[in-house]
Amino acid sequence: MKRSIHKSSLLGPLYRGLPIVALTILGGIFTAKKYFKYATPQYESTAKIKLADPHEGITDSKLYKDVDVFVSTNKLGAEVELLKSKVLVRKAIANLPLTTTIYRVGGIRKTELYTQTPFLVKAEIADEKFYDSPFSVSIYRDSLFQLKTAEGLVYKGSFNYPLDIRGATLTILANDAFLASKTGAKLNDNYQFNIKSQDMLVNSIINDLDVMSVDKDVPVLRISYKCPVPQKAADIVNSLAKAYIRDYIDQKYKSADTTEDFLNGELKTYSGNLTASENNIEDYRNKNNIINIQQETETDLRKIADLKKQLANVKMSMDAADSLYSYMQQGKDRFLKLAPNYEEFTDLLSTEMVKKIEELQRDKEDLLLKYTPANERVKVVDVKLQDIFNYFQESIKNSKGALHIKYNELQKNIDDAQKAFVGLPGKEKNMSILNRDFGLNEEIYRSLHEKRTEAQIAKAATISFHRIISEGEVPTLPVSPNKTILTALATILGMFAGVILIYTVHGMKGRINGPDNISRNSDTPICAMVPFLNKAAQKRLFFKEWIFELELKNMLQDGKVITLSSFDKLEGKSFITNGIYKQAELLEKKILLIDAAATAQGKLEKPTNWNVYIQSFKSKFDVILIKNFALQNNPAGMMVMAVSDLNLFVVDSRRTKATRIDDADLLKTELNLQNFEFILNRAGYIPSLFGQFTAITKWLYKTFKR
């Protein structure tokens, strides 16, 4: 008879082992609590620095953009590396009490005291082996101490007196300020201190230092430091942030100062060059009588043009005088007709003389109308005309000479003026070179002077455009160990440990936990799976149904010999046999129950031959039910199985090992048993540990009470 099992064979061990899981969870939590108690907590302090942005904020103003020419434009990565550099860390820790680290030593752990130390240590170390080496100190009587080196050497001393330890001199002083400020401070105790080398100290700080940018697009740096002492963590990040700002100002000042010195030297050099250029121009002008080449050239050109104009006029006057003089030589009698040619002589005297000649010639013409040329009156007029004409002719002659002289002088002046242009391109070239050198030196000098002014202003402006926007605070809660996470992790690990333990033990026990273990290891069918029946009503109902099922399967036919066997007597064989026997009355058949163990104990007649013994009862009973020996203790049980018509082999889910399935199959093969089936007792039964513990307690109570 097969019954459904309510609990899964896979989850059954877990259900049964829930108390173990609970215990392992409690054990994990207890272990975590103990770890929190003795673990050294780590505190973290964080400071933030906003870097100067030359495109935004204060540095974008015209004043500072022009003045602070040394503002940093490096990438965030470069600033992060600067903050983590040994140079900056050395500056940051210069004023912090970090060289000597003092611990109070307890039974399980030691605690760093930092500034809360009851004593101070002054050290003069000659042998470098004492650096980074632990010294153990036991203080007693408030002023005496015993010092032990890492090599095991022991020295005794007292406060305020130097102690020579062969390579180093140590002086231990009472920290009176701390002892006075803290009431009840304990001085007599066990301590340990290390004197760290500068490199080791810097490296240890850098290892615990975390510097990173908040975001690649936001110029803000985050400085974090972890250590067991909250005040120390805050002091280091704040000191490092301030050292970064000071270093920025110092570097800016040094850069400005160096630039100013360089510019002063260059200004001195170019000042000399500028003076030399000015002297060269002055000497060249003096040597070549140059004031302004362009202006002088324009003046000379205008002068030559004027002279040439005058020369042309004189030439025209000369030509006119020559023509007039020639006319006068050829036509004295035609003076009036030639009169227009006297236009060149427009002075008052010439004009009066021409008018006089014209007047006398008209008078002569009038006289000739009345008189002959030989007339005295006519002759007098002729004489007057001749005198005026001679005078006028001489005057023209003299004018011609004066014009010739003037012409020659103008020509000479023009030639002299044109000599000024001889070598002019060379002068212009030389002056251009000199002016260019002067202009270049002047431009450089002015630029250097402006830069020096900027450097002087930047040197005087001892401010930083980097800002500490968040100082490191003294932390109150440790970041490590994280109690919430570790407690949750301990709970989970405890649960997993319990589950693993349960299934490990379950696997090591190797019991037949369900029908699957039988079907996987054997082809022998399962006749029935008997559940755990702890109530009489359940027992009667189950065996009643099972008896009818056996009858329907023709397994209780008349003359049948049914044997129930098992390897161990505690696997439920007696319980199942008695259950079948008591409910078989419902079938109205005569059933004989033979207890093989009782025959062995003398309670029944011990048969010499089991086959003959059983055959003797077949005529009297319809069914013979045999409760066989425990095969593990009495091999005679195999003889009983050999003469049986149906062999039901009982295995218990809580007691029978899985390897017994193979043993049962081997027995079946050796005895050549045809009708051989398994009965699984307490199928699906998974007792709780708590229930078992309660049952054992009750049994012990009843036993001892008796």
pLDDT in tens, 647-691: 999 999 888 888 889 889 999 998 888 889 999 998 877 776 666
Whether 488 and 554 share a structural domain: no
| Residue 444 located in a structural domain | no
CA 113/CA 100 separation, integer angstroms: 11
State the total domains in the chain. 4
Q: What is the pLDDT of residue 235?
A: 93
Q: Give the tens place of pLDDT for each residue, 613-647.
A: 888 888 888 889 999 988 888 888 888 898 899 99
CB atoms within 10 A of CB 163: 15
CA 465/CA 463 separation, integer angstroms: 7
Q: What is the pLDDT of residue 169?
A: 92
Q: Give the tens place of pLDDT for each residue, 143-190.
A: 899 999 988 899 999 999 999 988 899 999 998 888 888 877 788 999
CA 67/CA 74 separation, integer angstroms: 19
Token output for 93: 């820790």
Whether 489 and 523 share a structural domain: no
Q: What is the pLDDT of residue 223?
A: 92
- Judged on CB neighbours under 10 Å (0-12, 13-18, 19+), 561 is buried
Residue with tokens 């240590």: 121
Whether 220 and 309 share a structural domain: no
Per residue in 321-337, is it b (16+ CB within 10 Å) or e — as a string? beebeebbeeeeeebee
CA-based nearest residue to 651, from 639, 663, 642: 663
Whether 400 and 544 share a structural domain: no
Q: What is the pLDDT of residue 489?
A: 92
Which strand ranges, in their side-by-side order, compose the sheet holding 190-195?
Answer: 110-112, 100-105, 190-195, 134-140, 144-148, 154-158
Whether 74 and 21 share a structural domain: no
Q: What is the pLDDT of residue 190?
A: 93
Whether 341 and 485 share a structural domain: no
CA 571/CA 653 separation, integer angstroms: 9
| Residue 287 located in a structural domain | no
CA 464/CA 69 separation, integer angstroms: 13
Token output for 616: 């003797």
| Residue 453 located in a structural domain | no
CB atoms within 10 A of CB 191: 23
Cβ neighbors of 2 (< 8 A, separation 6 or more) are: 515, 526, 528, 529
Cβ neighbors of 433 (< 8 A, separation 6 or more) are: none
CA 317/CA 463 separation, integer angstroms: 87
| Residue 457 located in a structural domain | no
Q: What is the pLDDT of residue 424?
A: 59
Whether 399 and 497 share a structural domain: no
The residue out of 227, 251, 275 marking a domain boundary is: 251
Q: What is the pLDDT of residue 6?
A: 40
SS3 561: strand
Eight-state DSSP code of residue 603: S
| Residue 265 located in a structural domain | no
The residue out of 425, 449, 473 marking a domain boundary is: 425
Q: Give the tens place of pLDDT for each residue, 514-545.
A: 788 888 888 899 998 999 888 888 888 998 88
**Which neighbouring-strand residues pair with 215?**
218
Q: Are 664 and 678 in contact (CB under 8 A)?
A: yes
| Residue 447 located in a structural domain | no
Q: Within 13 Å of residue 130, how many CA atoms lie on the same side as its CB?
A: 21
| Residue 493 located in a structural domain | yes
> Range of 557's domain?
511-698
| Residue 454 located in a structural domain | no
The residue out of 385, 404, 425 marking a domain boundary is: 425
Whether 375 and 349 share a structural domain: yes
Whether 311 and 230 share a structural domain: no
SS3 readout for 10-34: CCHHHHHCHHHHHHHHHHHHHHHHH
First to last CA, the chain: 41
CATH code of residue 667: 3.40.50.300
**For the chain, which residues score pLDDT lower than 70?**
1-10, 12, 53-74, 289-297, 300-301, 324-325, 327-350, 417-431, 461-464, 506, 508-509, 600-605, 688-696, 699, 701-703, 705-706
Q: What is the pLDDT of residue 161?
A: 93
Whether 203 and 349 share a structural domain: no
Question: What is the torsional sign of CA 520, 521, 522, 528?
Answer: negative
CA 27/CA 494 separation, integer angstroms: 7
Whether 65 and 208 share a structural domain: yes
**Which neighbouring-strand residues pair with 533?**
none
Q: What is the pLDDT of residue 60?
A: 41
Whether 537 and 647 share a structural domain: yes
